[in-house]
């Protein structure tokens, strides 16, 4: 399976290139390599600060005939400081400008948190806007207008739990096409995935390789390493193939050509039922991104997850 059909009927390639922490000077080349190696999906965000380089790479890839616009799926995300009604469209337009595109394939609300203009990670109390002042559905209604006006072919969310998804679904507005959440064998998200499937929402796994943050490397996990040895795949390919075989979209990030190639080749790795069961059993609800930095109960943001 190479594509997932979204609730808009659009086809979303099941593997894409992640760009979080792709440094200036590295991002351009990573996107060019990925497209040449067969990737047809790039995951971006305004907050990553590197969309201009992604845009230049897309522009040059189109100009040099590597791929056509309609053959590649580009996702971006609305940052938390642009949830106000008057800020949503300008934020999307700025992203389109940076990416040198006329439309996005998917635009996500990055976090279910509204912040004041110009803030990155919230630090001081005044960085949050109370949820009562900008409810999630109000921002979502503005995103629906972007969808209706053709600035994006689909809209979705990221880091939404079941309760937050229900807020949008129950309002009887456009159902999010995608929920992008952290997901890997230590956090298999089975319950949230089941809920999303019931509501026709596709799931994208971020940090599918465990993000290589502090707290131990998932690539060195004994079970993952053992399956890799037996299947003659690499640990990264095992982690990705596990998701692909259960219909979860993956967006591994790398700025190295060999790893970008290796990750894409997970499409041809086949795990048997026993391997899949062993990976399923690794779940311990461990998060590398626990969301606590965005919590502020006094402003209406209790548990993010
Ligand atoms: N919605 C959200 O809130 C959210 C949050 C986090 C991430 N994301 C998205 O999800 C994407 C993926 O998540 P992530 O970047 O946090 O983590 P990830 O893809 O799980 O891991 C990326 C790390 O693994 C390394 N790596 C990549 N391929 C490898 C391989 N084959 N072997 C060994 N190491 C490898 C990369 O290093 P090199 O680059 O040096 O190769 C990088 O350090 C992001 O880039 C972003 O697009 C979204």
pLDDT at 211: 80
Q: Is 261 in the pocket of ligand 1 (CB under 6 A)?
A: no
CA 251 – ligand 1 centroid, Å = 8
pLDDT at 194: 98
All structural domains of the chain with their residue ranges = 3-293
Q: Which residues of 136-172 are buried (b: 16+ CB within 10 A; e: fewer)?
A: beebbbbbbebbeeebbbbbbbbbbbeebbeebbeee
Helix, strand or coil, per DSSP, at residue 143: helix
Cβ-Cβ contacts under 8 Å for 156 (sequence gap 6 or more): 106, 107, 108, 109, 176, 177, 178, 179, 180, 201
Query: 3-293 belongs to which homologous superfamily?
Result: NADP-dependent oxidoreductase domain (3.20.20.100)
pLDDT at 216: 59
Mean pLDDT of the chain: 96
- Give the closest residue (by CA) to ligand 1 atom 38: 254
CA 15 – ligand 1 centroid, Å = 13
pLDDT at 215: 52
Residue-wise pLDDT for 152-167, tens only, equals 999 999 999 999 999 9
pLDDT at 157: 98
Residue-wise pLDDT for 99-152, tens only, equals 999 999 999 999 999 999 999 999 999 999 999 999 999 999 999 999 999 999
Q: Give this prediction's pTM.
A: 0.98
* 48 included as an active-site residue: yes
158 in Cβ contact with 289 (< 8 Å): no
Q: Is 255 in the pocket of ligand 1 (CB under 6 A)?
A: yes
Instruction: Tell me: pLDDT of 214 over 80.
Output: no
Phi, psi of 98 (to 5 degrees): -60, -40
């Amino acid at each position: 399976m190479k594509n997932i059909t979204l609730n808009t009927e659009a086809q979303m390639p099941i593997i894409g290139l992640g760009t979080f922490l792709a440094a200036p000077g590295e991002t351009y080349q990573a996107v060019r390599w990925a497209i040449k190696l067969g990737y047809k999906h790039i995951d971006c965000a305004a907050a990553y600060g590197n969309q201009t380089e992604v845009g230049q790479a897309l522009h040059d890839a189109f100009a040099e005939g590597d791929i056509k616009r309609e053959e590649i799926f580009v996702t971006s995300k609305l940052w938390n400081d642009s949830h106000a009604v008057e800020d949503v469209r300008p934020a999307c337009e700025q992203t389109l400008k940076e990416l040198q595109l006329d439309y996005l394939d998917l635009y996500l609300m990055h976090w279910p948190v509204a912040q004041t203009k110009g803030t990155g990670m919230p630090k001081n109390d005044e960085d949050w806007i109370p949820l009562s002042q900008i409810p999630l559905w109000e921002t979502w209604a503005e995103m629906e207008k972007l969808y209706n006006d053709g600035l994006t072919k689909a809209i979705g969310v990221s880091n939404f739990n079941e309760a937050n998804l229900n807020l949008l679904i129950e309002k009887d507005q456009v159902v999010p096409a995608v929920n992008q959440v952290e997901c890997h064998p230590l956090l298999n998200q089975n319950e949230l995935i089941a809920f999303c499937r019931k509501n026709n929402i596709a799931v994208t796994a971020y940090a599918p390789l465990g993000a290589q943050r502090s707290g131990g490397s998932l690539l060195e996990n004994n079970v993952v390493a053992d399956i890799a040895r037996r299947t003659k795949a690499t640990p990264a390919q095992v982690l990705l193939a596990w998701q692909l075989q259960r219909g979860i979209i993956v967006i591994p990030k790398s700025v190295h050509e060999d790893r970008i190639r290796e990750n894409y080749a997970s499409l041809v790795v086949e795990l048997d039922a026993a391997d899949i069961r062993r990976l399923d059993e690794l779940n311990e609800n461990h998060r590398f991104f626990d969301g606590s930095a965005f919590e502020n109960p006094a402003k209406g943001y209790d548990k993010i997850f």
